[in-house]
Amino acid sequence: MILGVLVACLIFTVWVRQTGVYFFIMVTVGILLGTVVGHFVFSWTPSWSQHLLAAAMIVTSVYAWNQKAYFEE
């Protein structure tokens, strides 16, 4: 499912760059909220791959936001 959402982000970015970046940022927020809620509400411990995915998405979101001028063309 996550792979499908990431592919959708890529398609949105190719189609309308700015919308793709915003969609990716929202997916990143969803991943982070899911991790926090899962940990505190359901006592779920995220795997190392979940932490790695969240970290990579945060770094990518920050980079995309810094390239905002390019994506708004």
Of the candidates 2, 48, 45, the one whose C-alpha atom is nearest the C-alpha of residue 27 is: 2
Helix (H) or strand (E) segment spanning residue 54:
helix 48-66
Q: Can you list the alpha helix ranges (DSSP code H) found in 1-73? A: 2-15, 17-42, 48-66, 68-71
- Residue 16 pLDDT: 76
Q: What is the mean pLDDT of residues 65-71?
A: 77
**Structure pTM?**
0.73
- Both tokens assigned to 58: 């945060």
- Residue 73 pLDDT: 62
pLDDT tens per residue across span 3-62: 787 787 777 777 777 777 888 888 899 989 988 999 899 988 888 988 898 899 899 889
